[in-house]
Amino acid sequence: MNTPDLAIVIVNWNTRDLLRDCLTSVYANRGVTFQVCVVDNASTDGSPETVEREFPQTRLIRNMRNSGFARANNLGLRLWSFGEPGHPDTPPYALLLNSDTVTPPDALARMMAFVEARPKAGAAGPKLVRPDGSLDLACRRSFPTPLVSFYRFLGLSKLFPRSPRFGRYNLTYLDPDQLAEVDSVNGAFMLARARAIEQAGLLDEDFFFGGEDLDWAFRIKAAGWKVYYNPSVAVQHVKRASYRKNPQAAFEFERAMWLFYRKHYRATTPPWLNALICAGLVMRGGMPLAREMMRNSKNERLSSPEGVR
């Protein structure tokens, strides 16, 4: 089988009907060769059977348990050996695509042409719109630095969405139709160049749900690549279709923010600001997150040279 231009990984958990719409729209795309892998995280709604019956051209991985978004995406990416230097079967591009999206028939070709025209583009995403036509604000992001997170926690990002200082979290001060180089795009539709993945690595599996796309973009940019928001392509996104069904999702989202902060910013954050950020996270994530943070801190102390006696 010839290597396609694009490998598409769709992670699914109990969104059978949305997944059907997503795959129908994907296979209606023209102008680019692609292969699709659905990684099903132990759905109980008949999702994998629907894929096998209605979309036999799709590669299907059945997880025996819900292994989370990052790990499931990595299972799909490894089918094409992404992250392995110089592998001959790896397509030049990979697309992370949510099961609750609907793509126009020219979306894949236009997004790939957009990245192809920008040799330093490591990743890119389109404008994501909700079913009611409103913008999914998370389709373009700044990294949640301590200062950006602090503004959001105080509510300043909502009070002053047009402010370049306070509106940085979701870049609400930018025109939604303005092409922009950004820190991150959303993992609901995240097109990544194979060479950027090779340098940045696969998704960090410590993230279960949420934050893994931010972390991936952070590492792609750290490797010297750029990330772009391309509003000339619009993709429908129901948003959090699986999230609403999972009682653990809210906790995992807050946990992801803690993991991202701990991984990338805590070591260089002043103690007073670190205390405020941790307090804010606990206020949002409650005691389960507080216990997680204490466990992490304890493990770090034990693994540090100073913790060895």
- Shared domain check, 264 and 241: no
- Shared domain check, 25 and 76: yes
Closest CA to 230 of 99, 105, 109: 109
Any bridge partners for residue 230, and if so which?
A: 126
Instruction: Could you list the beta-strand ranges (E) of the chain.
Output: 6-12, 34-41, 59-63, 93-98, 101-102, 121-129, 140-141, 180-182, 184-185, 189-193, 226-237
Q: Of 214, 245, 276, which marks where a domain is finished?
A: 245
Closest CA to 173 of 186, 160, 185: 160
Burial of 92 (0-12, 13-18, 19+ CB in 10 A): middle
Query: Could you tell me if residue 134 is inside a domain?
Result: yes
- Shared domain check, 132 and 48: yes
- Shared domain check, 261 and 141: no
The reported pLDDT for the residue numbered 288 is 85
Contact criterion met (CB below 8 Å) for 234 and 140: no
Give the Cβ contact number of residue 84 at 10 Å. 13
Q: Hey, CA dihedral for 188, 7, 207, 200, is it positive or negative?
A: negative
Looking at every residue in the chain, the average pLDDT score rounds to: 92
Query: Could you tell me if residue 142 is inside a domain?
Result: yes
Q: Residue 63 is part of a domain; what is its CATH number?
A: 3.90.550.10
- Shared domain check, 207 and 108: yes
The reported pLDDT for the residue numbered 252 is 84
- Shared domain check, 211 and 275: no
Contact criterion met (CB below 8 Å) for 245 and 198: no
The reported pLDDT for the residue numbered 308 is 41
Q: Hey, CA dihedral for 176, 180, 181, 186, is it positive or negative?
A: positive
- Shared domain check, 71 and 171: yes
State how many domains the chain has. Answer: 2
Domain limits for position 290: 249-307
- Shared domain check, 289 and 201: no
Alpha helices, H only, 154-303: 156-159, 194-200, 212-222, 249-264, 271-303
The reported pLDDT for the residue numbered 301 is 67
Q: State the DSSP code for 269.
A: S
Q: Of 216, 245, 274, which marks where a domain is finished?
A: 245
Contact criterion met (CB below 8 Å) for 127 and 261: no
- Shared domain check, 215 and 282: no
Cα-based distances in Å from 58 to 30, 120, 201: 16, 31, 25
Strand duo 226-237 + 180-182: pairing:
antiparallel
The reported pLDDT for the residue numbered 287 is 87
Query: Could you tell me if residue 213 is inside a domain?
Result: yes
- Which residues of the chain fall short of a pLDDT of 50? 308-309
Q: Of 245, 262, 288, which marks where a domain is finished?
A: 245
Per-residue pLDDT tens over the stretch 64-122 = 999 999 999 999 999 999 999 888 889 999 999 999 999 999 999 999 999 999 999 99
Query: Could you tell me if residue 73 is inside a domain?
Result: yes
Give dist(CA 219, CA 217) in Å, integer. Answer: 5
Strand duo 93-98 + 6-12: pairing:
parallel
Strand duo 93-98 + 189-193: pairing:
antiparallel
- Shared domain check, 294 and 205: no
The reported pLDDT for the residue numbered 1 is 60
**pTM to 2 decimals?**
0.92
The reported pLDDT for the residue numbered 241 is 60
- Shared domain check, 54 and 203: yes
Per-residue pLDDT tens over the stretch 101-110 = 999 999 999 9
Q: State the DSSP code for 4.
A: P
Query: Could you tell me if residue 1 is inside a domain?
Result: no
- Shared domain check, 89 and 232: yes
